[in-house]
Amino acid sequence: MVGKRDEVSVIDDIPRVQRGPDNGVIGISCRGLSRTFGSTHALREVDLEVTAGTIHALVGQNGAGKSTCLGIIAGRIRPSAGDVTVLGNNFQYGNPRAAQTAGVSAVYQELTVIPQLTPQANVYLARPVTRGGLLRRGTMRRRYVDVCEQIGIPAAPDRPVGDMTVAQQQLIEITRAVASNSQVLLLDEPTAALAQEERRALFRVLAGLRAQGTTIVLVSHNLDEVLANADTVTVFRDGRLIATRPAGQWSRSELIRSMLGDASRALLEAETTGVAPSEVVAEAREAQAADRPIRLRASGITLSGRLDGVDLDLREGEVLGIAGLMGSGRSSLLRALGGAERGTRGSLEIDGTPRSWPSSPRAAQALGIAFLPEDRKTEGVCLAMSSADNVALPRLGTATRAGYLSPRRLAARTSPYLKAVGVDLKKVSHSAQSLSGGNQQKLLFARMNYLEPRILLADEPTRGVDVGAKADILENVRSLAHEQGVAVVLVSSELEEVLAFSDRILVMSHGRIAAEFTAGEVTENDLLNAAFHIGEGT
C-alpha cells in the first residue's frame, strides 16, 4: 500500500480557481468535424462549442481524437469534413500562421523550440519586435522578462535552450504563447513535464489570462487538474465527442467511465474502495530485504552545474523512485547513469565489479543498463521507422539473416515485446509517427524489454499518456522489477506514481540527495518538504 496520506483527496491539493463566466459568447465553434488518416478515423462528426473567456478541457485516451481536434483549431491539420469558427471568423485550414493571425496560439505536447537559440529568441522567433526593419532587442528583452515574471519562472534570456531540461523548454513554449497576447490559447498536455509547484504557477497564469478574456482549450490526462481548474469538460472516445458538461457536474469516476467505456471497471472500483487498482497505481510492495544483492553502486557522481557528489545504491528487483522539483538534478542523474551526459565523473560498480563510467548510451547498454529518456520525440522513437524497427533498433543484428535484415524475422522477433506492452500487432509495420503519444511511449518500453536489461532507468515514463496507457506502462515497470528482478530507477513528476511504485525514494534538490524514505512510511507532503528543505533545522 501507499504510505500514510493526508485526509484529503488529490484534487484538494490543487488550487481551485474562480470559474469563468457563462457569458453566452462562443469563442470557438466546430461543426461536423471529421478527419481520417488513411483507414483510421481520428475524428467523426464532432460538434463542439467553447465559450469565450473560459477554460475548456478535452479529455480521453490517447488516440481518442482530442489532439486532432486541437490541431484543426490551431490550423495545423486540415479536416476531412466540417468547419471551425474562431471568434466569429473562419480561417484557412492547414495554415498555422493564418490561425495565429486570427488570434490563436498553440502549445503542443511535442516541443517546437529551437535548441541552438536562447529562450528570448525562441519566444519572439515568429513575431519579432521591429522598427524600420530593425530588431528592437532591448524592447524584446524587457517584454520577455516581464512575461517571465508574470508566469513566475526564471528568465535566463541568454542561455541556449538546448542546455535546458524538457520541463524548462515546455515553459518557454508557454511563455511564447503568453507573450503573443493571443485571444485563444490551445494547450496540449502543458503540465506533463512540470513538477507540482510549476503546475500551480501555470494554472495561476491561466486563471489570470482567463480573467482578461482569453479563451483557453486544455488537453490533459490529469483528471484532478481538469476538475479543479476547467470551467467545462468534454470527453472524446474513438474519435467521437461523448459528452460535454460544466466541470462541477463531473466526478472523476464519471470521467473515467466516459473515457474508457467498458474498460473502466477496474478503475471505477478504485473510486469506491479508495485503493488504486494495479492497472493504474499498483500497491508498493514491502521494502527490499536487506540480503538482496546490490546491482548498481555509484558514488561521487558529479556533472558540472547539475550534480554535486551524488551517491547511489540500487538493489536487484528494486524500484528506486527519484522525486524533486524541476531543475533538482533528477533527470540529469538518470542521463549520467545512462551514458547520455559527457563529462560525468564518479565511480561505478555493477554487481560488485568496478566499471568505467559509460561514455554513451551504447556503452551503458553493454553494462546491462537501459535508459528510457524523458523526451521521446528527440531522443526516443524514430518517427519515420516502423514499430518493429523501433523496438529492434539497438540490436538489429538479432533480426538479420546472412547479414541481411529480414522483415519477417524482424516482425517475429519484436511482436511478443509489442504485445506485452499493449501495442496492436496490426501496427507492427506502421510508422511510429502514425501512432498516438501513448503508443509511442509503449514502443520505447518494448525496446527496453527487447534489450533484456539488468538495470532500467525510466525518466518520466508516463509523460503525456492517458490513464489506459499509463496503466500498461506502470504495470510493465512493476513486472520488470518484482517478477524479473530488474533493478529500476523511476523519475516522475507525479508524486503519486513515485509513492505507489517505489520501494525506496530519494528526493533531490540542487543536484544533491536531500532525503531518503522507505515506501509506506512517507507522504506527498514529506516529499515536498524535503524538496523545499522544509523541516527541522530549516
How far apart are the C-alpha atoms of 234 and 239, rounded to whole Å? 12
For residue range 472-531, what is the model confidence (pLDDT) as tens digits? 778 888 888 988 899 999 998 888 888 888 999 999 988 999 999 987 788 888 888 888
Residue 223 — very low, low, confident or very high, per pLDDT cuts 50/70/90? confident
Residue that is last in its domain, among 215, 238, 272: 272
- Is residue 187 domain-shared with residue 154, that is, in the same domain? no
pLDDT band at 298 (very low <50, low <70, confident <90, very high): very high
> Which of residues 211, 239, 272 is at a domain's end?
272
Output the pLDDT for position 274. 40
Classify residue 413: in a domain, yes or no: no
Q: How confident is the model at residue 77 (pLDDT cuts 50, 70, 90)?
A: confident
Decide if pLDDT at 64 tops 70.
Answer: yes
Q: Are 473 and 444 in contact (CB under 8 A)?
A: no
Distance CA 258, CA 254 (A): 6
Query: Residue 243's pLDDT band (boundaries 50, 70, 90)?
Result: very high
d(CA 100, CA 330): 36
Say how far apart CA 45 and CA 341 lie, in whole Å: 48
Structural domain includes residue 401:
no
DSSP code per residue over 487-518: EEEEE-S-HHHHHHH-SEEEEEETTEEEEEEE
3-class DSSP state for residue 168?
A: helix
Cell of residue 114, nine digits: 529551437
Phi and psi for 513 in degrees, rounded to 5?
-80, 115
pLDDT, position 268: 46
Which of 359-372 are b and which e, b meaning 16 or more Cβ less than 10 Å from the residue's Cβ? eebeebbebbbbbb
Together in a domain, 211 and 152: no
- Give the model's pLDDT for residue 448: 86
Of 151, 80, 84, 155, nearest in space to 118 by CA:
155
Residue 283 has pLDDT above 60, yes or no: no
Contact between residue 467 and residue 422 where contact means Cβ atoms under 8 Å apart: no
Are 263 and 332 members of one domain? no
Does 251 share its domain with 125?
Answer: no
Q: Taking the CA of residue 297 as centre, how many other CA atoms within 13 Å lie in the half-sphere pointing to its CB?
A: 7
Which of 237, 272, 307 corresponds to the end of one domain? 272
CATH number of the domain within which 317 lies: 3.40.50.300
Q: Is the pLDDT of residue 199 over 60?
A: yes
Q: Is 433 among the domain residues?
A: no
* pLDDT on residue 38: 73
Q: How many domains is the chain partitioned into structurally?
A: 3
Task: Give the three-state DSSP class for 474.
Answer: helix
Q: Are 307 and 511 in contact (CB under 8 A)?
A: yes
Handedness of CA 153, 158, 163, 169 (dihedral sign): positive
Per-residue pLDDT at 409: 84
According to DSSP, the residues that pair with 354 across neighbouring strands are: 349
Percent of the chain at pLDDT exceeding 90: 30
* pLDDT, tens digit, 9 for 90 and up, residues 1-53: 333 333 323 333 333 334 445 556 899 999 999 998 777 788 999 999 999 99
Same domain, 146 and 45: no
> Mean per-residue pLDDT for 398-409?
77
Rounded distance between C-alpha atoms, residue 182 and residue 214, angstroms: 7
The letter for the amino acid at 8 is V
pLDDT value for 262: 57
Mean pLDDT of 73-101: 84
Predicted confidence at residue 510, as pLDDT, reads 87
DSSP 431: B
pLDDT of residue 266: 44
> How many other C-beta atoms can be found within 10 angstroms of the C-beta atom of residue 295?
23
CA distances from 391 to 370, 387, 529 (A): 13, 6, 40
Assigned domain for 382 exists: no
Both 188 and 251 in a single domain? yes
pLDDT at 235: 95
The range of the structural domain enclosing residue 503 comes to 294-368+453-531
Rounded average pLDDT over 87-109? 80
Closest CA to 71 of 208, 188, 156, 172: 188
> Any idea of the CA torsion for 57, 2, 478, 470, to the nearest 10 degrees?
0
Write down the pLDDT at residue 125.
84
Task: Please give the Cα distance from 469 to 54 (Å, whole number).
Answer: 29
Q: Would 249 be classed as within a structural domain?
A: yes
> Do 145 and 127 fall into the same domain?
yes
Q: What is the mean pLDDT of residues 141-145?
A: 89
Q: Which of 222, 165, 152 is nearest to 189 (CA)?
A: 222
- SS3 (DSSP) at 241: strand
Predicted confidence (pLDDT) per residue in 338-397, tens digit: 999 989 999 999 999 999 999 999 999 999 999 988 877 777 888 888 888 888 887 777
99 and 54 both lie in a single domain? yes
What's the predicted TM-score (pTM) here?
Answer: 0.59
CA distances from 471 to 223, 422, 442, 516 (A): 15, 10, 11, 26
Is residue 21 one of the residues assigned to a domain? yes
Which position has the higher pLDDT, 57 or 223?
A: 57
pLDDT, position 354: 96
What pLDDT is stored for residue 534 in this prediction?
55
- Asked whether residue 160 is domain-assigned, the answer is yes
Residue 47 confidence (pLDDT): 96
Handedness of CA 453, 454, 459, 463 (dihedral sign): positive
Helix 137-151 to helix 196-211 angle (10° resolution) is 110
Q: How confident is the model at residue 162 (pLDDT cuts 50, 70, 90)?
A: confident
What average pLDDT is seen over the chain?
A: 81
Per-residue pLDDT band for 112 (boundaries 50, 70, 90) equals confident
